[in-house]
Amino acid sequence: MCARQHPPPYGAGVQLALVTVVVDDYDDALEFFVDRLGFVLAEDSPAVTTDGRPKRWVVVQPPGGGAGVLLARADGADQVGVVGRQAAGRVGFFLDVDDVDAQHAALRSRGVVFVGPPRTERYGRVAVFLDVAGNRWDLRGPAPSPATPAG
């Protein structure tokens, strides 16, 4: 039991809605997330920065729903410095699928770069890939079932 458990400060129905991936270019990011990864474009609207400069509000989501990814173009030296290193070289994002091996093959055929082949860990199958900015993502799924002997 975790000693830091507290009653939730929220009412029912709290969900993580968005996470941000800082990118160099909106259109390159859309090509990766929509055309290669198979995410759905949820929104691409004109917006402005806090000081009035134009930008876009671009959100993509996995095809099964869940939290969206806000694709935010880097603005200024600090943000440019985190492109591709949002988790300091660690895996910072996780995409769960039913069959890691099948998705690995499909994504590789669409140009997604993996840092190694799928492997089995105690929690299931995993393959690490890089997004358009260079951030590491885990493609995760259940471990394959042991083969059933032919009867």
CA 78, 79, 83, 86 dihedral sign is positive
Residue recorded with tokens 């160099």: 24
The answer to whether the pTM exceeds 0.95 is no
Residue recorded with tokens 């860990």: 121
With a pLDDT cut of 90, the percent of the chain lying above it is: 80
Q: Which of 130, 135, 139, 132 is nearest to 88 (CA)?
A: 135
Q: How far apart are CA 76 and CA 8, in angstroms?
A: 37
**DSSP character at residue 121:** E
Question: pLDDT by residue (tens digit) across 27-38?
Answer: 999 999 999 999
- The token pair that represents 103 in the structure block: 């998705």
Domains defined for the chain, CATH in brackets: 18-141 (3.10.180.10)
Q: Is the pLDDT of residue 107 over 80?
A: yes
Number of H helices, E strands in the chain: 3, 9
- The token pair that represents 18 in the structure block: 């968005």
Question: pLDDT by residue (tens digit) across 52-61?
Answer: 999 999 999 9
Question: pLDDT by residue (tens digit) across 73-87?
Answer: 999 999 999 999 999
